[in-house]
Amino acid sequence: MSQNTPHARAKHPRTALAGPYGHPFHPILVTIPIGAWIASLVFDIIGLVSNDPEPYVRGAWVLIVIGLVGAVLAAVWGFIDYAQLGRSTAARRTATIHLTLNLGVVVLFVVDLLVRLSADDQDEVSIVGFVLSIVGLAVLGVSGWLGGKLAYRYGVRVADERTQMEGFR
């Protein structure tokens, strides 16, 4: 496969910062915000049914902050991979939607955090924050599906088929 085709370029990092060939850093970094934000929702649910919700309320907003930091890191590495995609390709269009949805999710969680921190009662689960988390995670699920499409259907940053065959010999 020629290195000059958009498909071949999408498999190889432009810089070592993106992760070595066949081992991109972006997919592992996305586990930080996904895990933190799911855990924050779990803390909200526990806080809603708990007799003492205060530790879960605080834990939820700390997890949202961790998710936001992780999202910024994942975005930096995701953009490095995005820059490799050929313009006017289906992969680039999919990645643009993926990127846009993720930026929207970050905005939702920033608003979610601000709602929680500005609440009059910091010892109770914020229902508005809870709903924002659910919406944010739903959008994140759609974006994650598109990220999977980029990797598993279009092969972005995935080793080429000849390299993959090594595992089946």
92 assigned to some structural domain: yes
Give the span between the Cα atoms of 169 and 161, in whole angstroms.
Answer: 13
Residue 135 identity: V
Give the span between the Cα atoms of 72 and 105, in whole angstroms.
Answer: 11
109 assigned to some structural domain: yes
How large is the angle between the packed helices 54-82 and 90-118, nearest 10 degrees? 160
Residue 125 pLDDT: 92
Is 157:81 a contact under the CB 8 Å cutoff?
yes
Residue 13 pLDDT: 65
The number of domains in the chain is: 1
Give the residue numbers spanning the domain of 73. 22-161
Residue 77 pLDDT: 93
44 assigned to some structural domain: yes
Residue 19 pLDDT: 67
Residue 139 pLDDT: 98
Give the span between the Cα atoms of 45 and 124, in whole angstroms.
Answer: 11
Give the span between the Cα atoms of 62 and 169, in whole angstroms.
Answer: 47
Q: Which structure tokens are listed for 58? A: 């605080």
Per-residue burial over 9-30, b = 16 or more CB atoms within 10 Å of its CB, e = otherwise: bbbebeeeebbeeeebbbbebb
Extract the residue ranges of the chain whose pLDDT is less than 50: 1
87 assigned to some structural domain: yes
Residue 90 pLDDT: 93
Give the span between the Cα atoms of 125 and 64, in whole angstroms.
Answer: 14
pLDDT in tens, 111-152: 999 999 998 888 899 999 999 999 999 999 999 999 999 988
Residue 48 identity: L
Residue 168 pLDDT: 82
